[in-house]
Amino acid sequence: MTIDIPTGFTPVGAFSGTENFESLVGPLYQRQDAPASIATWGFRAERRHCNPFGVVHGGMLTTFADTMMGSLVFHAIEGAPCATITLTMDFIGAGREGDWIEGRAELLRQGRSVCFLRSELRANEKIILNASGAWAIIGSR
């Protein structure tokens, strides 16, 4: 099956050919045309991402936002381990099967031991989710 993705997006390499949680929900894609403090990711909503009503499941949107923001932190701190401390989701709208779900994450502040981020997800150019969170930099002092 071929997945139609917008021009400029490529598969997220960290999950290619590996068996981890993210590989179960992917493929996920990224666009690398922004400053290092910004991440733009996307995925094509498939039936397996949806609830019985054909709406992209909130757990999928949460996983996507958390993974995108966590990856942004990971790269900002040059590959040091990190972990989500807090994650707040505001579900504003809905994505449906077949929609291109696009997320944009922004690193707001990077401290010695904690990073703060926000993101928004869109479907059909409409905001469907706002998220904010904090990530611990593991092993920092």
- pTM, full prediction: 0.91
- Secondary structure (3-state) at 130: strand
- Which of 116, 30, 111 has the alpha carbon at shortest distance from 68? 30
Distance, CA of 120 to CA of 134 (rounded, Å): 15
Section 47-76 average pLDDT: 95
- In the prediction, which pLDDT does 13 show? 73
**Amino acid (one-letter) located at 75:** H
What token pair was written down for 12?
Answer: 């997220």
DSSP string, 76-98: HTTT--EEEEEEEEEE-S--BTT
DSSP state of 114: E
Q: For residue range 28-37, what is the model confidence (pLDDT) as tens digits?
A: 999 987 788 8
Q: Is the pLDDT of residue 3 over 80?
A: no
* Superfamily of structural domain 10-137: Hotdog Thioesterase (3.10.129.10)
How much is the pLDDT for 16? 54
- Find the range with the poorest average confidence among 5-19, 29-43, 45-59, 60-74: 5-19
Structural domain boundaries of the chain? 10-137
* Confidence tier at 15 by pLDDT (50, 70, 90): low
- Can you read off the two tokens belonging to residue 60? 């999928």
**pLDDT more than 70, % of the chain:** 89
Buried b (16+ CB within 10 A) or exposed e, 105-131: bbbeeeeeebbbbbbbbbbeeeebbeb
**3-class DSSP assignment, residue 6:** coil
